[in-house]
Every structure is written in C-alpha cells, then in structure tokens.
C-alpha cells in the first residue's frame, strides 16, 4: 500500500489485475454514458426555446447556449484538476452531480419565472455536458497504448443511445411537467437532472478501484514504464508539448468546423422551404454520424495510426464543406449527406486527437492537461457557432461551408510538423 502526495492510498496492482480493472472500467463508463447522453441531449434540445419563452425575445434566446458553453468550459478545467488530485471517480462524480443541480435549477427558474436564476442555472448545467465529454478519458487510464483510441470510442458510441433517447422524451416530459404545474419546456431538464445524477452515482458507487489512481500508482512504482506496464507510452519520443499542441489542434479545428456548419444548417434549410421534420432528420443523421461510427474509428486510429486518421478527418471535413456548399438548396438528400460527412469528420478528429493527448502526457499531469484541452474545445465550439452567423450574414452559407473545408486542411501541415518532430510509431506504420 502506497500513500500518494495528496494522502490517497493505493496499492500496486499486478498487470493481470490492471487488465481486469480496465475491462470493468469500460463497462462502468458504458452504463454511465447511457444516462449522461440523455442528460446532455434532453436539456440542449429546448434550452434556447425556454430562454426565448421567458425573455420574450428571439435575440436573447442564445444566452442559454452562451452560458451553457461557458459553464462547460469552467467545469472542464475544474474536473480536470480534481481528477488529477483525487482520481476519476471524484472528478466525474462531482461534475455530473453539479450538472444535475444546474438542471434542477432550470426547472425551479421556469416554475418561478425567475430569469436570473435561469441564467445562473444554465451556467451550472454546463458542468454535466463537459463531464459527459471528459468521461471518455476514463477508459484510457489502464488501456495499452494500442487500445487507447478504442477505449475512447466505447464511451462515445454509448453516448449516442442516450442522446437519441433524450430528445424523443421531450414531449412526454413536457406533459409530466405540465401535470405538476411546471412550464412544459422545463420538462426535459427534469429528465436531464435525473440522468446526470444517475451517471454521477454510477461513477461514485461502481468506479472502485479508481483507474486513474491505479495507473498513477503503477507509474510511480516503475517510473520508466508506461501507466499500464507497457513500454513506450510515456517515453520522451511520445511525450511533451508537441504532442499536446497537435492533439489539441486536431480537436479544436474539427470542433470549429463542425459547430460552424452545423449551427447554420437549420437556418439554411428553413430559408429553402424545408420542414422542421426534415431539419430534425438532417441534424439527427449528423449526430448519429458524430458518435455511432466510433467503435470502427477507434480500431482504425489504433491500427492505422493517429496521423493518418487525422489526415482522413481533414479530407472528410473538406468533402463535407464542398457538398454542403454546392448542394441544391431544395435537396434534402444532399444536405443530409453533407451533414453526415461533417459528423464523420468530427468523429475521426476527436478520437485521433484524444489518443494523441493521452500518448503525449504522463500520469502526473494527464488529467489536468485533458481538462485544459476540453476547456479549449468548449470555447472553440462557442466561437465556431458565433462566427458562423457573422459569415452567413455578410456572405452566404456556401461561403461558410467552403471556409470550413479550407480550415480543415490546416490539419495537414500540423500532422507534417508532428511527424517531423521525432514521434515514432508503436503499432501502425503511420501511428503518432
């Protein structure tokens, strides 16, 4: 039994035991993400509508998204620090329970018609969404280097099921809220509060032993080895600021491109006479493409390599930009195809970038770095959404799509710089 610098005791586990804990951790992440995804999607679906209803202003409706994104960024930073100090269990539990409290605050604000409380609650609600994203790291703590991308993909693909279920429960939850004398638009936040709370409780009760603490104890016991006992994960060739910069760049660029084009797609389709049902179908196909291919993507990132799949992400996002830019405005099929490519490119980029970040950090700083990178991802998404409106207002949706595709090509020189920086493959011939 060893005592960590912060007083956390953790015994050293054998490699066989660590593998068993890794498998158990993946199962726990799957269960928690089913709830977390529902909490994420159910609240986002009606957040702007609820704000619009309470303020009576279309212009102020975006306040909820702004505050929600800001809260997500702040909480990502805090959860990363807490995880580094006390482990995944403490960080993820605190983040999800904070998000649950925020969602409950939204319900209270709607019931009392209290706008300041609503805005504060939306800020706190953002903690649940950022924690839902950070949960993808839990499966990587004890994964072998050649399994890290697959571990990330398991968390992401599971989120899909909750994210699909959440919006489909908007109407039933609205009716339930109305029966209780609460505005119907607050109903989905009742579901979000319960879902986030359940996700937090799953981690609090089941995530024992803590995979991050187990990995860190093993690394402290054998500093020259990787967190899971294999060679090469944290060697100088695979660690350092270059990998962190590259991994963050991949995720930031793909996030900006995806958010910018996705944000303006409903408005573009509405201007061309598409029904709300068709808009919903298009966005639904886009979200499915963001998450459902994750298991295949994870295998490809581990087998083919981080660099190669980041380049594929750039090419896919470029194709998405070209399709959406030149698609006939009245063609729903072409818009769906373009948005599916957009989601797929984001999926390639997020999993590749996440794997690069894990490869490039050691366990003494990894959780803090992951939290800081997720802060930037949240802010990048907000920037992409805000700038997209300005671009369309001054030019057109087609120009926005082409600009997004061009921006994605920046990944190519980033990958070239990374490859020339001394990183050496450990599995695939193009692996970072």
Task: At 10, give phi and psi (nearest 5°).
Answer: -155, 125
Other Cβ atoms closer than 10 A to 48: 17
Domain range for 373: 241-419
Q: Rounded distance, CA 242 to CA 231, Å?
A: 20
Give the mean model confidence (pLDDT) for residues 278-306: 85
Last residue of a domain, one of 190, 221, 252: 221
Same domain for 83 and 54, yes or no, is yes
Distance CA 54, CA 75 (A): 26
| Residue 7: inside a domain | no
Mean pLDDT of 127-139: 85
Clarify whether residues 198 and 251 are in a common domain: no
Question: What pLDDT does 347 receive?
Answer: 94
For 81, residues 6+ apart whose C-beta sits below 8 A from its C-beta are 367, 368, 371
The secondary structure element, H or E, covering residue 3 is strand 2-3
Query: What pLDDT score was predicted for residue 323?
Result: 96
How many angstroms separate the most distant Cα atoms in the chain? 66
Query: How confident is the model over 369-389, as pLDDT tens digits?
Result: 888 888 888 888 777 777 777
CB 160 within 8 A of CB 291: yes
- Residues 8, 14, 18, CA angle at the centre, nearest 5°? 75
231 within some domain: no
C-alpha span between 374 and 378 (Å, rounded): 6
pLDDT in tens, 282-291: 877 887 888 8
Do 211 and 251 belong to one domain?
Answer: no
- Phi-psi bin for 51: left (phi > 0), alpha (psi -120 to 50), beta? alpha
Please report the pLDDT score of residue 301 as a whole number: 93
The residue assigned the tokens 């671009």 is 391
The CB-side HSE value for 230 (13 A sphere, CA atoms) comes to 17
Residue 430 lies in a domain: no
Claim to verify: residue 286 and residue 404 sit in the same structural domain: yes
Q: Are residues 184 and 290 in the same domain?
A: no
- Within a domain: residue 250? yes
Say which range, 107-121, 279-293, 311-325, has the weakest mean pLDDT: 279-293
Write out the two tokens for 203.
């981690």
Q: Which of 134, 133, 131, 150 is nearest to 22 (CA)?
A: 150
State both tokens at 415: 């990958």
Looking at the structure, tell me whether residues 208 and 167 fall in a common domain: yes
> Residue 324 has what pLDDT?
93
Helices (H) and strands (E) in the chain, counts: 16, 2
* Residue 199 pLDDT grade (very low, low, confident, very high; cuts 50, 70, 90): very high
The CATH number of residue 84's host domain is 1.20.1250.20
Identify whether residues 215 and 259 lie together within a single domain. Answer: no
The alpha helices in 61-210, defined as continuous H runs, are 63-86, 88-112, 115-134, 148-168, 170-179, 187-206
* Domain tally, the chain: 2
Query: Does residue 113 lie in a domain region?
Result: yes
Residues 159 and 132 sit within 8 Å (Cβ to Cβ): yes
2 lies in some domain: no
pLDDT at 48: 64
Is 5 part of any domain? Answer: no
Q: Is the same domain home to 26 and 169? A: yes
- Is 199 within 8 Å of 207 (Cβ atoms)? no
Out of 221, 255, 270, a domain closes at 221
Rg (CA), the chain: 21
Task: Identify the CA nearest to 205 among candidates 79, 24, 368, 13.
Answer: 24
Q: 108 and 158, same structural domain? A: yes
- Over the stretch 229-263, which tens digit does the pLDDT of each residue have? 333 333 334 446 888 999 999 999 999 999 888 87
Instruction: Count the Cβ atoms, other than its own, within 10 Å of residue 420.
Output: 9
Q: Which residue has the higher pLDDT, 205 or 18?
A: 205
Instruction: Report the candidate in 84, 97, 164, 150 with the shortest Cα–Cα distance to residue 124.
Output: 97
Which residue shows structure tokens 């800001």? 70
In this structure, the answer to whether residues 397 and 341 fall within a common structural domain is yes
Residue 288 falls inside a structural domain: yes
Mean pLDDT over residues 390-413, rounded? Answer: 90
Same domain, 266 and 373: yes
19 and 156 in a common domain: yes
The upper half-sphere exposure of residue 61, i.e. CA atoms within 13 Å in the direction of its Cβ, equals 13
Q: Which residue has the tokens 């024992």?
A: 208
Last residue of a domain, one of 186, 221, 256: 221
Contacts of 186 (CB under 8 A, 6+ apart): 50, 106, 107, 110, 111, 177
218 compared with 99, residue with greater pLDDT: 99
411/53: higher pLDDT: 411
Q: DSSP letter for 10, please.
A: E
């Amino acid at each position: 039994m060893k005592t960590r610098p912060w007083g956390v005791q953790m015994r050293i586990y054998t490699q066989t035991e660590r593998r068993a804990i890794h498998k158990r951790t993946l199962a726990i992440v799957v269960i928690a993400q089913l709830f977390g995804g529902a909490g994420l999607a159910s609240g986002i679906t009606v957040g702007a509508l609820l704000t619009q209803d309470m303020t009576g202003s279309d212009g102020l409706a975006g306040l909820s998204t702004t505050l929600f994104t800001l809260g997500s960024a702040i909480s990502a930073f805090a959860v990363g620090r807490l995880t580094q100090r006390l482990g995944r269990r403490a960080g993820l539990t605190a983040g999800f329970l904070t998000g649950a409290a925020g969602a409950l605050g939204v319900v209270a604000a709607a019931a009392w018609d209290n706008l300041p409380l609503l805005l504060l609650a939306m800020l706190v609600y953002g903690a649940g969404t950022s924690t839902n994203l950070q949960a993808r790291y839990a499966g990587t703590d004890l994964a072998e280097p050649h399994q890290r991308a697959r571990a990330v993909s398991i968390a992401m693909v599971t989120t899909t099921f909750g994210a699909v279920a959440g919006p489909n429960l908007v109407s039933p939850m609205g009716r339930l809220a109305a029966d209780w004398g609460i505005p119907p638009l607050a109903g989905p936040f009742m579901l979000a509060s319960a879902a986030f709370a359940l996700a937090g409780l799953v981690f609090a009760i089941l995530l024992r032993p803590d995979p991050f603490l187990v990995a860190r104890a093993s690394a402290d016991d054998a500093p020259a080895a990787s967190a899971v006992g294999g060679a090469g994960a944290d060697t100088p060739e695979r660690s350092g600021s270059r990998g962190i910069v590259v991994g963050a760049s991949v995720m930031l660029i793909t996030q900006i491109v995806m958010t910018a084009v996705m944000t303006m797609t409903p408005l573009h389709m509405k201007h061309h006479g598409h029904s709300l049902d068709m808009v919903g179908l298009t966005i639904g196909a886009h979200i499915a493409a963001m998450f459902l291919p994750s298991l295949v993507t994870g295998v490809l990132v581990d087998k083919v390599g981080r660099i190669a799949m980041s380049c594929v992400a750039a090419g896919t996002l470029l194709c998405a930009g070209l399709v959406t830019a030149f698609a006939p405005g009245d063609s729903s099929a072409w818009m769906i195809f373009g948005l599916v490519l957009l989601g797929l490119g984001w999926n390639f980029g997020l999993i590749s970038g996440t794997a690069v970040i894990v490869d490039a950090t050691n366990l003494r700083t990894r959780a803090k770095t992951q939290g800081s990178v997720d802060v930037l991802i949240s802010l990048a998404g907000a920037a992409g959404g805000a700038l997209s409106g300005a671009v369309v207002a001054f030019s057109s949706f087609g120009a926005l799509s082409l600009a997004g595709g061009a921006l994605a090509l920046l990944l190519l020189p980033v990958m070239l710089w990374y490859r020339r920086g001394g990183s050496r493959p450990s599995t695939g011939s193009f692996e970072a």
